[in-house]
Amino acid sequence: MQNLMQHFEIIQKTPTLYALHVSIETLFNTLHHLRYQSDFITLSQLTCTDWIEEERFELGYMLTNLERNCNLMVKCFIGRDDVTVASVVTLFPQAEVMERELHEMFGVGFEGNDTLYDFALEDWQDLPPMRREFDTLAYVQSHYDFRDGRDDNLDVKEQIKIRKAAAKSAKEAQGGA
Amino acid sequence: MVLIDCFLMLLLAYGFGFLYYGLYRNLSARVHGRFGPSLAQSFFDSVKLFVKEQSTTFGWMFYAGPIIMATGAVLNVLFIPFINHGDSLQGLSSSANLIVVLYLMVLGPLGNALGVGSNGNPFGVMGITRGLTRLIALELPFYLAVIGVMIDAGSADFSAIFEAQSQEMNLLKHPLLFMAAFISFLGFMGKSPFDVVGAPQEVYSGPATEFSGKFFALLLSQSAMFSFAKLLLMVNLFLGGADDLGDLVLKTFVLFVAATFIGSVYARFSTIQSVEFLMRIPTLLGIVGLALL
Amino acid sequence: MEEGFNAYRQSLESEEQSIKSTQSVVEQAIAWFRAHSMFVLAYGTGCGAIEMPPTFTSRYDIERLGVVGVATPRQADILIVSGYCSPKTLKRVIRSYEQMSDPKYIIGLGSCTINGGMYWDSYNTIKKLDDFLPVDMYVNGCMPRPEALIEGFVKLQEKIRLNSSEAGYIKYRDNYAHYRANQERLFGAQVAPSYEENFAGMN
Amino acid sequence: MLHFEATLLGHLFFGLSLLVIVALLRKNDGLWHLLLLGSLGIIFYASSLVTLFIGWEMMGWSGYFILSKTARVSTLQRYILFNLGGAFALLGAIALLFSFMGSMMLCDIDLTLLPVWALHSVSALVLIAVFVKSGIIGAHDWVVDSYQEASPLFSAVLSAILSKAGIYLFIVLLLKQPHDERVLFELMAWLGAITSVVATFKAISQDEIKRLLAYSSIAQLGYIITALSLMQAYALEAALYHTVIHTLVKLLLFVNVAAIMAITGKERFSELGGLLYRVPLLFVLLVIGIIALAGMPLLGGFNGKFLLYTALLEEKRALLLATVMFSSASAFLYCYKLVYGIYLGQRPHDESPLHVSPKSYYIPQLLSAALLILLGFLPALPTPLFSAIGVEAGFSALEFTKPSILNSPFGSFNGAVLMSAFGVVFVLILGLLQRVHSKAKAAQNAQDISYCGEVPKAGVNLHFGYGMGHELGRIGFIAFILRRQSRRFWDYLNLIVGDLSILLRSLYALGTQHILLLSLLGFTLLLLGGL
Amino acid sequence: MSLLLFILLPLLAIFLMPFYRAYLHYVSTVLSMALFGLALTCKAALPLVERVAVDLPLAITFELSSVSWLLVTLFTLSMSLFSLYHLRFSSNKALFVGTNMLLVGVIGLVLSRDIFNIYIFFEISSISAYLLTSLNQDAKAYGGAIRYMIIGAFASLFFLLSIMLIYLTIGVLDLQMIAQRFNLIDEQVQYLILLSLFIALGIKTELFGLNFWVPDVYQASRSAVSGLFSAMLSKSYLFLLFHLAYLLHVSTSQMAFLTLVAALTFAVAEFSALKSRETKRIFAFSTLGQIGLIALALSYGDTALTEAALFLIIVHALAKLMLFLALDLLERRLGSTKSEIFARFESLFLMAVFTVGALSLLGIPPFAGFAAKLSLLKGLAGLEAYGAMALILTVSLIEAAYLFRLLSGFRQGEQKMVVTLSPLERLIFGVMMFALLLLGLMPQPLLALCQEAAQAMLGGYHAAL
């Protein structure tokens, strides 16, 4: 890990987690270097965070090394709308499924990965759902209808209060009568 | 007289078949440490399936397939004598012999294969192919044993076989032959370790993928009768045949319980493993048994 | 009128007496056999599937009630929709249900099938199983334990023994158009091949 | 040169060949087929060794010219070389026999007079001819190739009749042997059994239909040869019975396959499938064929095998019987592959239209199917004929009670009871199933199968036909058999002969001066040697 | 009806050649037909001996025994067929002279009983053979002719040596007398005479070790001419070799050596034919093979085998002549004689000709070759010569391989050239095919003739043993 420190400005987050920020151009080379020159040979996670305020996504490649005792997160910022990144399937075969999910959920294109068809959502016509501009509740309201008795305990606390008050007044009326 | 005899044999076979099938489920349940269904549960299953309001059919061949299979099972029951002397419960066994019965056992699987083939489901045919491949290996030790029995009895007729066993059962005279036959008998009865063919977990329940409603019912009842016929065959060949009905029940019960317990203990072989196993040890047993005839 | 669980049970029994008297012995016998031998399709659609193994094996042993798991919908009578059901899974569930032969029943396991459960606001799960498939028996709970599942089965057995006319498969057969419309609304035109003509010959 | 004499055996074999060739006669190649029929007539009615040989050779090369219409050159060469090899072995045997017997007439051939070594060499030579003609496991490559590449109808003739010539030859020449010189026949029995086992497993793993049928004919002939080698009355009857059945079955199967090829123009299992409801009659005929081929008790196929088993039992040849029963049991797998591959299962997606199969394909099939069913009902029908042939060949007569009861030393069975029981029970169960009140709903279309909840897409090939023999290859014992290739041995031999010939040919490319030098050298050497 | 006519008539025809320069081929046909008729007529008056004494040591003695009669009829028959075939083409002086000279030489060899006469005809036939080989007048033809001439001269040298030795030791030239007094002379000289005779005649009969020149010569000459060579030339020398062997009572060990050489000829020739790609060369090898076979049969000195050998000579002559003439026909039309020409012509009749020829060469019933092979094998079995039988059977498999590969050429090839035959050619080939079929089905009459000839040939030899 130390000799890597010289080459890249790696920040240590926790004793076992290190972070490294790269630009989109050098992303693939860095990953290639890490894959073959260092002992960070396994890609355990491929995440994408939606910074809607700054109008950009943040791709995170979590690499773990042989002894699994420490992880290196390679992060890079990419644009939000119809952006394509070089696929890392050639370096890490397991990235194929992860990239497919990101493509489906965030709409990030991965050029070089030809299995970007439906994954969890079949025939999904709407916006990729994990993007923050996607309004889940509105989608649910329009596509599904709830069981009719469902809406009354929307606000459970009021209902309990009303019921308790009714019970108390009934008892007093009974006591009174 | 023969007709009544045959009808009685069919009734017995049907009754005992389902009784033993229920017994099997109960015994293996107890081995797993649970209570298991009532003895007549298989009977209930088959009646429920018979009275289902709807069943899918894939053309006349699919309709005829299970019928041929059931006919094969029924013929097997009819051509194997229940009692080893006298003329009651002999069925049609006088006009056939052991070799005919052996090859009649192949008629059932043919009907099944044609029916399953015609419904176009690839899983069904995979099940059939596994069944046939397993059948090849199952029959080798069984034939060795049967040949030994026939040579010892000097003829293929059941009466001669019974007469040869009048003093001493074949089980004691040729123990090795019995062992070879018993191992492949496990396979014929569909008990693990050789039950890869019909098991629900394997290839989408093997041949019976597309059997619904009354066809599945026919399948269940014919397999019950067929397993009883095989039990009967083993009793006649190796346990000296049944002297009377009570003796018949006793011997079949003993044999069946032995098969069930062995069956519920072993894990399941794959088709390749079962063929390779059957072609080694049981065949060796059979050959040595034949040599010691 | 008193409401709650007991009330429901009394109404069931009373209804049972009234129906029993109208049915002939043969129909009652058929209903008895159907109740005592139920084949469940081995299809775990959601998180409830993890409840089924203990129910079917030694710990709770539902085989005592004559319930056995089978692999293909052709042989099955009962379909257990266990837990949340995404449209993708629902498509397969509907196809399997339509391949089962009548009389067939559906047990909705867990609150997700009743009203969407904890995934009530998820874009990928259906909220009411009833819209798409006629459910005969709900077993609520956010994954009911095997005892509850067995209770569900017992209740279903009683219902089957009633041989009542508004069983799920009859409801599905009679107003198939309603169910079909809901399905097409959810899936768009991508629904599995329709089986209308299946039912043409039936009723 | 040609002497003829009508014998019962001759009538039987010629009758069969007449049935086959006339049934398969087509307009365009009538001439050659008639020549073939003529040569078969010469063989089966020959009363002298030379006539027998003339018929045998003419059958060989007339077959060659019919085959040459469709086959590749390498197959033709393989066909003619194997056939001529067998024929020349036969010629050698005839010359040997003549030198001991003094006369060519069959009636005064008596093998017991021969000295032991002569007896062995004559029978070995004749056996070579028999084995080559019936395609015993070493010499079976030509059988498989020529059946595959002959026109479907001619492969029917090849398999139904030409392979039987070897059987006839064996019966006529070698059947009567002194009892103690039987070492060759022990080998022959085992060779026949091993051939049937190996050929059965090879048949199962084939993808071309005609190759499968070729291997199946080799296997069936393996049975006949094992039966013949037992030298016993019932074994002879088993051999003759199985010859008749095999001729009928192969006629039925090959013509059926020819009809399928005429309809679809395809000949591989992987390209066929799902023709059941398009040509149901062909399907029913094929099912009758495979029931007889597999030797199931219902139709005639079982009778021949039953007699063979009882003969083997009587001779107490347990292991041999086990091998034969094992191979006939595993024969069931390729019988089912034949039916499933062509008719059952899903039809792979190709829009090529189906032509109508010519009517003339149906006649031979219906004929042989009717005969098979008749033999199923009355199994002992041909027994008197076979026992007469047995007596003519010097065996004891066979016991015959009723045409429907086929009896043998190890017990008898009643074909009529068997078939009628099957019919009655079938009808009973059909009635039961009809009466049960659950309505049968027809499946919508080919996609309406239970497929784990999925709808099988159009491109997915749901036909498992060609995959049937694949997993056999993973079983140790069977994989060992499938890997053995006798073709490699023959190609290697061909290579050596080729190299030798090139080496010798170089001798003839010497310059004149070398030739003179050589002859002078030869002269001086002989001179010194001689003085 | 003196025997000289056989010699004089062709020579006379050659001398009168200038008069009928344009009709040479007609004349040679008529001449050969006449000789053939002459030979048939003098069948009754066998054995015919004619002696013309010139001065004491030199005399011309001809003897027509049944075996030489058989051969003479064969030679005249094949000569007439050859010239009939050539009727269609223009008359060719060299061809006319060569063929008639060859006929004279060959008949002389068979008839003459005087050792010197044999040498004269030895020279005549060789010279005419050299002339015929060079007919094509191209480089290959001349090359072949020269090679043939050198080796032929070498052979006649040895023959002259043996005659000289005989004359010195016995002093007389007549074969009969030589035969009686041969065993009186010293052992070594006897061996030397026999050896030089063997080398001389070995080359001419193309036995193994001495026949390496044959394929090139056959390839160099025209197919028709090679057909003539294989039908007449080699047969006559073969007869001469064994005639002298029987006369001079060659010892059994030397006969066994001859058998070995013959077997080698047969096997090596057939093997080397397997992979060659040139039809004429294949037929040449096949001729060598058949000669080896005939020599093998003759070398046993058994009447049955000799009868089979003579029958084989006739059948082979007919079949090979037919094949070579058919090949000549193809050569003229397609230009080459490579094996693939079989795939480049379309003519049902020619295919039938080649098939019948090949089948009878192979000895496959119902054609004549089979009767010959059968009697051969029967004879060998009688003598318990099982090794020879096995050799014949296996090597004929090799023969079958290359012949059928030729025949299989008919099936391949797309754009085929239609070859039409003139009615005369159809007649010739039809007659030959019919003859082969007839001999195949009813060989008895010819076999009887051969039997009689065999007895005549071996009469002396058996008496001496």
| Residue ranges covered by each domain of chain B | 2-291
Taking CB atoms and an 8 Å limit, are C202 and B54 in contact across chains? yes
Write a three-state SS string for B25-58: HHHHHHHHCCCCCCCCHHHHHHHHHHCCCEEEEC
Q: Is the pLDDT of residue A150 over 70?
A: no
Q: How close does chain C come to D458, measured CA to CA in Å?
A: 13
Distance CA B269, CA B252 (A): 26
Taking phi over 0 as left and psi of -120 to 50 as alpha, with beta for the rest, C7 belongs to alpha
The full DSSP string for E371-434 is: HHHHHHHHHHHHTT-HHHHHHHHHHHHHHHHHHHHHHGGGG--SSPEE----HHHHHHHHHHHH
Distance CA D319, CA D197 (A): 13
Q: Identify from D437, D447, D449, D450 which residue to disrupt to test chain C contact, counting C C-beta atoms within 10 A and taking the largest count.
A: D450
- What's the pLDDT band for D409 if we cut at 50, 70, 90? confident
- A-chain residues near C190 (CB < 8 A): 122-123
* Per-residue pLDDT tens over the stretch E152-162: 898 899 899 88
> Which residue of chain C comes nearest to A127, CA vs CA?
C123
The full DSSP string for C137-148 is: EEE-SSS--HHH
Q: Is the pLDDT of residue A177 over 70?
A: no
Q: What is the mean pLDDT of residues E101-116?
A: 88
Q: What is the mean pLDDT of residues D304-329?
A: 90
Distance CA D421, CA B100 (A): 14
Q: What is the mean pLDDT of residues E128-157?
A: 89
Q: Which residue has the higher pLDDT, B184 or D400?
A: B184
How many other C-beta atoms lie within 10 A of the C-beta of residue D454?
A: 14
Distance CA D223, CA D243 (A): 10
SS3 B82: coil
Q: Which residue has the higher pLDDT, E184 or B225?
A: B225
Distance CA E117, CA E101 (A): 15
Q: Is E in contact with C (3 or more beta carbon pairs below 8 Å)?
A: no
Say if residue E222 is in the same domain as residue E302: no
Taking CB atoms and an 8 Å limit, are C193 and D444 in contact across chains? yes
Q: Is the pLDDT of residue B284 over 90?
A: yes
| HSE, side-chain direction, 13 A CA sphere, residue A65 | 16
Taking CB atoms and an 8 Å limit, are C115 and A121 in contact across chains? no
pLDDT at C198: 45
Distance CA D295, CA D308 (A): 12
Is C93 in CB contact (< 8 Å) with chain D?
A: yes
- A-chain residues near C188 (CB < 8 A): 123, 125
> Which residue of chain A comes nearest to C190, CA vs CA?
A123
How many other C-beta atoms lie within 10 A of the C-beta of residue D359?
A: 7
- C-chain residues near A136 (CB < 8 A): 121-123
Is D450 in CB contact (< 8 Å) with chain C?
A: yes
Tokens at residue B250, please? 């006793």
Structural domain boundaries, residue E271: 251-465
* Per-residue pLDDT tens over the stretch E33-44: 888 888 888 877
pLDDT at C200: 43
pLDDT at C20: 66
> Which H or E element spans position D262?
helix D233-264
Q: Calculate what percentage of chain D has a pLDDT beyond 70.
A: 96
- Contact criterion met (CB below 8 Å) for E304 and E378: yes
- B-chain residues near C42 (CB < 8 A): 200
- Those of residues 51-70 in E touching chain D at CB distance below 8 A are none
Taking CB atoms and an 8 Å limit, are C75 and B38 in contact across chains? no
Selection from E276, E279, E3 nearest residue E114 by Cα: E3
- Contact criterion met (CB below 8 Å) for E175 and E113: yes
Helix axis angle, B60-79 relative to B2-32, nearest 10°? Answer: 100
Could you say which of B55, B75, B210 has the minimum Cβ distance to residue D450?
B210
Q: How close does chain D come to E279, measured CA to CA in Å?
A: 14
| HSE, side-chain direction, 13 A CA sphere, residue D21 | 24
Instruction: Please name every residue paired with A59 in a beta bridge, in sequence order, or none if there are none.
Output: A48, A76
Q: Is the pLDDT of residue A152 over 70?
A: no
> Which H or E element spans position E58?
strand E58-64
Structural domain boundaries, residue A61: 2-117
Taking CB atoms and an 8 Å limit, are D433 and B271 in contact across chains? no
Q: Calculate what percentage of chain C has a pLDDT beyond 70.
A: 84
- Contact criterion met (CB below 8 Å) for B199 and B268: yes
Distance CA E320, CA E369 (A): 11
Say if residue E298 is in the same domain as residue E328: yes
CATH number of domain containing C79: 3.40.50.12280
Distance CA E272, CA E270 (A): 6
SS3 E101: helix
pLDDT at C2: 56
Instruction: Please report the ipTM that was assigned to this predicted complex.
Output: 0.85
Q: How many domains does chain A have?
A: 1
Taking CB atoms and an 8 Å limit, are E275 and D527 in contact across chains? no
* Per-residue pLDDT tens over the stretch D93-117: 998 888 888 888 887 777 777 888 8
Taking CB atoms and an 8 Å limit, are C197 and D439 in contact across chains? no
Instruction: Please name every residue paired with C68 in a beta bridge, in sequence order, or none if there are none.
Output: C39
Is C71 in CB contact (< 8 Å) with chain B?
A: yes
Q: Is the pLDDT of residue A25 over 80?
A: yes
Q: Which residue has the higher pLDDT, D465 or C150?
A: C150
* Per-residue pLDDT tens over the stretch B205-249: 878 888 888 899 999 999 999 999 999 999 999 988 888 889 999
Q: Is C in contact with D (3 or more beta carbon pairs below 8 Å)?
A: yes
Say if residue E145 is in the same domain as residue E29: yes
Distance CA E363, CA E396 (A): 9
Q: How close does chain B come to C63, measured CA to CA in Å?
A: 6
- Rg over alpha carbons for chain C, rounded to the nearest Å, is 17
Say if residue E302 is in the same domain as residue E331: yes
Tokens at residue D130, please? 């028999």
Tokens at residue D131, please? 């084995």
Residue type, E427: L
Neighbours of chain D (3+ CB pairs under 8 A): B, C, E
Could you say which of B33, B38, B54 has the minimum Cβ distance to residue C101?
B54
Taking CB atoms and an 8 Å limit, are C72 and D455 in contact across chains? no
Is D283 in CB contact (< 8 Å) with chain B?
A: yes
Q: Which of E201, E232, E249 is the last residue of a domain?
A: E249
pLDDT at D26: 73
Flag whether A122 is in a domain. no
pLDDT at D221: 92
Say if residue E342 is in the same domain as residue E316: yes
CATH number of domain containing A58: 3.30.460.80
Selection from C80, C91, C77, C54 nearest residue C182 by Cα: C91
> Which residue of chain D comes nearest to B275, CA vs CA?
D475
Strand (E) positions, A65-160? Answer: 71-79, 84-86, 109-111
Q: Judging by DSSP bridges, how do beta strands E345-346 and E417-418 pair with one another?
A: parallel
Strand (E) positions, C61-134? Answer: 67-70, 78-82, 105-109
Tokens at residue E291, please? 């000669």
Neighbours of chain A (3+ CB pairs under 8 A): C
Tokens at residue C14, please? 């009373």
Q: Is the pLDDT of residue D178 over 80?
A: no
Tokens at residue D24, please? 């398969």
Could you say which of D318, D326, D441 has the minimum Cβ distance to residue B140?
D326
- Contact criterion met (CB below 8 Å) for C81 and C97: no
* Per-residue pLDDT tens over the stretch C132-178: 899 988 998 888 999 999 999 998 998 888 877 778 888 888 888 88
- What's the pLDDT band for E311 if we cut at 50, 70, 90? very high
Write the burial class of residue E212 (CB in 10 Å: 0-12 exposed, 13-18 middle, 19+ buried). Answer: buried
Flag whether C12 is in a domain. no
Which residues neighbour D113 within 8 Å (Cβ) at sequence distance 6 or greater? D100, D101
Q: How close does chain D come to C21, measured CA to CA in Å?
A: 23
Q: What is the mean pLDDT of residues E120-136?
A: 89
Taking CB atoms and an 8 Å limit, are E381 and D501 in contact across chains? no
Q: How close does chain B come to C62, measured CA to CA in Å?
A: 8
pLDDT at E56: 66
Say if residue E166 is in the same domain as residue E221: yes
Q: What is the mean pLDDT of residues E74-81?
A: 90
